[in-house]
Chains A and B, each alone.
Chain A
Amino acid sequence: MIPSTELPPSADLAGKEPVFHIHGVTKIYRMGDVEVHALRGVDLDLYAGEFVVVLGPSGSGKSTLLNILGGLDVPTAGEVHYLDHQLTGAGDAALTRFRREHVGFVFQFYNLIPSLTALENVALVTEIADHPMDPAEALRMVDLGERLHHFPSQLSGGEQQRVAIARAVAKRPDILLCDEPTGALDYPTGKLVLEVLERINRELGTIAVVITHNAAIAGMAGRVIRVGSGRIVEITRNERRISPSELSW
């Protein structure tokens, strides 16, 4: 399926304009008297076409960061820019439009609509997008061309996750946000899903941000972001990216 085992080297980012630019982002959850600092002043730039893996212990703020990037949540303080749009302070309608036009999500628990077939789950998103793919074609991209009319309950976990990926990419988003996409999958299925993500990133030029607990996955990223206690602890660049089929854990 993937001809070369050698991935294109991560581009040199110096001097490029970032697509996402976030600065000083803080997120505080208030639960009664207790304040939970999920993010404590995060600065981050994301560039066109890059593949980023986010690592970090449980509760470190990864999902929170991803949700803020995708306009699902708003920071308590700080700024989020997407190209020349300012996302902080934007209202619900503006965030909804941003998500509709630019973002694709893949969740740990797939979150397919159980009453819709695979094809309809994808169509759910393409119907409201500007330049979508044909839903069937999106499903063929993830090797589910034969399963178009199956309901989620008739698919395995890995197949459901691939439907979720097809759903996320079918609208040709600018950024693909994946929160532990392999968390609920076994080893070979997880690899299959990662291969799909990598191919989408490469063929469509979509920025991919993948959260994982699995440090081995970091090998396929261009950049690896380590999060700890609500802060970005370290950002590393992989000089050589490993193809998902070669990953092992």
Chain B
Amino acid sequence: MTALHHKLFRDLSRMTGQMVAITAVLACGIATYVTMRASYDSLLFARSEYYSEYRFADVFAHVKRAPEALARSIAEIPGVAAVQTRIVTDVTLDVPGLEEPATARLVSIPARRVPLLNDLFLRQGRYIEADRRDEIVISEAFAAANQLKTGDSVDAVVNGKWERLRVAGIGLSPEYLYEVKPGEIFPDNRRFGVLWISRETLEAAFDMKESFNDLALTLSQGASELEVIERLDHLLEPYGGLGAYGRSDQISYRFIADELTELRTMGLILPTIFLAIVAFLLHVVMSRLVATERSQIAVLKAFGYGRLDIAGHYLKFGLLAALPGSVLGIAGGLWLGSLFTGVYARYFHFPVLRLQPNSYLLLSAVAVGAGAACIGALSAARRAVALAPAEAMRPESPEQFRAGVLEHSGLMTWIAPATRMIVRNLSRRPWKALATALGIALAVSILVVGRYTIDSVNYLVDLQFRVMQREDLTIAFQEPRPEHARYELAQLPGVLQVETFREVPARLRFGHRSRKTSILGTTPEDTLRPLLDRSLTRIEVPGEGIVLNSRLGEILGAPPGSQIQIEVLEGARPVRVVTVAGWVDQPIGLGTYMRAGALHRMMREAGTISGAHLKVDPRRAARLYSLLKRTPSISAVAVKEVALASFWKSYGDTIWISTTMLVGFASVIAFGIVYNGLRIALSERGHELASLRVLGYTRAEIGRILLGEQGLLLVLAIPFGLALGYALSFLTSHALARDLIRLPLVIGPVSYTYAGGIVVAAGLLSGLVVIQRLAHMDLTEVLKSRE
């Protein structure tokens, strides 16, 4: 090892505290990078493997009932590679051990196994046997949630007939990668599951001989999805087509795609912020180092060390500070990444989902860490190189002080000398003070953003489940029913209140943009599902107009007042042009609303209903459930409390892991910045403070001067950081806005207090450490040094 390397390592070990701080922040940055990139890569890899191996379709469509012969015409549409017709229907299910009725999606499969689009991956058991019509393959998530094994059976009401179905196998399909009940956002695997059953069984049960009601197709290379969909819709229209759609509207695809986008976005933004802070910290530390080593640099130069040697020396300093951080960060990131993928595996059902970090990622993590370190060390290294050797031999001239505004205003005479020193020090180098304050503010703001996610989800869940949805139970009918069905419902045991609703599937068109959605009829009398906007104001839909969720309004580009075309996909399939009466800002879904009366008029129907929201006497709920399980006309039952509980069960951990990571890392940053600021101040003021001690100032007094300066910056930076945090949360809420869910910008006072508190705690702790150092300051040693 050369003498210069000895110097390097001794300098590094002399600055252990600061190096630990920088290493910790860097490790956090690299860890977020590795966690998110590795999770992203693994999800992306798993998805593409799964999609190609199990032939995930490109276009999907549902019809009321179409003859099998139509499949040939569909296959002849230019651009269509393969077509798969199916029978798909939702039924209620009685699962052993589950009080409430579950909903099952029955998906037909051929009696004999052939390669399919959206094919089955069999995890356990076997495929159904051709001559056993009651055999099913059930989805793995549903099986796991209800502890069903092969050989078990479940009871289902299949088109009015009670059937006992036997579990032959447990499997998955890319179509149900994210297995969620239609119309819902959060999975509830206990109460919703996919059952694959033989086509013959379904044909017989639903009287669908030689017919299908659902299809999936793949496109050939270079085909236009839009054109195929248009032709497909045209072919399906006479048979009650509900509008074909591509992958981007397929619920599982949508969810994984959104998750991937979010991972990629956050995997870029977070590490960038963290590494910028690393660069800033290193910059401050190394600028100070080069300033204190002026004469040493001059000696090196005098003895013939060249520019490269000097630059290399200081860059190595930065790199050595970065290396352990990168290694730690990679290790931490891999660990967190496996936690992440573990959580993902809970609601994205892949045949295999493993964290698969490639060596490229690990190399790039090291490179990114080294890059941040080099950027941080660069300006200090350049200053070292630029130092004229002769110049550096001369002692640094006393720093320039000028009388500023404060001095002239005469305010200074009112301030104690110690405070005067603080104010002068800060105002002498305003940029430096500003940079430190900015660093602290950044730490505060990241803490705020971390907390924002928690607050926002809490608020959203409360809003959705307690304010917007006031019912206990929601029932959806298989087919629209006449209005008087409400009296049958009211007769059921335990039902306290019935509020029916009409919901109509439709495609909305504005200009060249269109979107499949469903229109909900509302009345001003609705109490269980009042139409509220984000600020909980009740929205009245006027006359014949339509109110769009503002996100949908943005997607269609249809502002209030514009005329949009509605193509209803049910019944007589009327096509109408209506006026957008307004937008309603709601955090979940893409809802569309009309007055119930207007909706009925458009459908040319009298009082038809699609389902009902119920208030239920909890003491009689069990009886009600067991009755509902046997009611053939009902396709889905949703129990609100149960949905809420399952939401927290599946999402609680996810939110906890990601926010704990963020908040933990932001706390590390806060400590890193504050501690480092104090250490630099101690190094710069050490000489001056020692002189004051010699003049008879007590340790407490000089401590006050030193800490006062940083304390003042801290106090000034916190409110700024809170505001910055709010702004960052605003940006985050926009960056993460999805069609299905948009986290509202809600940050509670507790979160602001928390963010400020962590930084103050960081300040106090760092202050203690520095006071400790002050106590051990060797006065003679400090005064002897030339600096």
Contact = CB atoms under 8 A, between A and B. Distances in A.
A64 B388 CA distance: 13
B2 interface: yes
Contact of B301 (A96, A104, A107, A109): A96
Given A115-B7, A116-B7, A99 B299 contact: no
A113 interface: yes
Given A96-B307, A109-B786, A115 B301 contact: no
Given A107-B393, A113-B299, A96 B305 contact: yes
A115 B11 contact: yes
Interface stretch (A2-10, A14-22, A123-131): A123-131
Interface string B86-111: 00000000000000000000000000
B1 to A, nearest CB: 10
Interface stretch (A46-54, A67-75, A137-145, A218-226): A67-75
Nearest to A66: B390
Interface string B765-787: 00000000000000001000010
Interface in A107-159: 107, 109, 111-117, 120-121, 123-125, 127-129, 153
Contact of B296 (A111, A125, A127): A111
A97 interface: yes
Greatest chain A CB density within 10 A among B6, B14, B302 is at B302
Contacts of A98: 304
Nearest to B393: A107
B300 interface: yes
Given A72-B390, A73-B388, A96 B304 contact: yes
A100 interface: yes
Contacts, number: 90
A80 B754 CA distance: 67
A63 B306 CA distance: 22
Contacts of B14: 115
Given A96-B304, A97-B304, A73 B11 contact: no
Nearest to B11: A115
B307 A99 contact: no
A1 interface: no
B6 A116 contact: yes
Interface string A166-204: 010001000000010000000000000000000000000
Interface of B is mostly: helix
Given A67-B390, A72-B390, A121 B3 contact: yes
Contacts of B300: 124
A43 B390 CA distance: 21
B32 interface: no
A161 to B, nearest CB: 14
A97 B300 CA distance: 13
A73 to B, nearest CB: 4
Given A113-B296, A115-B10, A128 B393 contact: no
Given A111-B296, A113-B296, A125 B7 contact: no
Nearest to A107: B393
Interface in B1-29: 2-4, 6-7, 10-11, 14
A228 to B, nearest CB: 21
Contacts of B302: 70, 72, 99, 103, 105
Given A96-B305, A115-B11, A127 B393 contact: no
Interface residues of A, number: 38
Contacts of B244: none
A239 interface: no
Which of A97, A124, A167: most chain B CB closer than 10 A? A124
Given A72-B390, A73-B390, A124 B304 contact: no
A64 B298 CA distance: 15
Contacts of B7: 113, 115-116, 120, 124
A124 B393 contact: no
B360 interface: no
Given A99-B303, A101-B304, A127 B3 contact: yes
A34 interface: no
Given A67-B390, A115-B10, A96 B306 contact: yes
Contacts of A73: 388-390
A96 B302 CA distance: 8
A10 to B, nearest CB: 28
B10 A111 contact: no
B388 A120 contact: no
A112 B302 CA distance: 12
B385 to A, nearest CB: 9
A124 B6 CA distance: 10
Contacts of A120: 3, 6-7
A105 B303 contact: yes
Given A116-B3, A123-B3, A124-B4, A111 B295 contact: yes
Contacts of B388: 73
Given A92-B307, A127-B3, A111 B301 contact: no
A79 to B, nearest CB: 19
Contacts of B305: 96, 100, 128
Interface string B64-105: 000000000000000000000000000000000000000000
A209 to B, nearest CB: 14
A90 to B, nearest CB: 13
A140 B732 CA distance: 67
A73 B392 CA distance: 11
Contacts of B298: 111
Interface of B: 2-4, 6-7, 10-11, 14, 295-296, 298-307, 309, 388-390, 393, 781, 786
In the A-B complex, the 10 residue pairs with the closest CB atoms: A100-B304, A115-B10, A124-B3, A73-B390, A67-B390, A99-B304, A120-B3, A123-B3, A72-B390, A96-B306
Given A123-B2, A171-B303, 18 more contacts: A63-B393, A67-B390, A92-B307, A96-B304, A96-B305, A97-B306, A99-B301, A99-B303, A99-B304, A100-B305, A103-B304, A111-B296, A113-B7, A120-B6, A120-B7, A121-B3, A124-B4, A128-B309
28 contacts: A64-B390, A72-B301, A72-B302, A72-B390, A96-B301, A96-B305, A96-B307, A97-B304, A99-B302, A100-B304, A103-B302, A103-B304, A109-B786, A111-B296, A114-B296, A115-B7, A115-B10, A115-B14, A116-B6, A116-B7, A117-B6, A121-B3, A123-B2, A124-B300, A124-B303, A125-B304, A127-B2, A179-B393
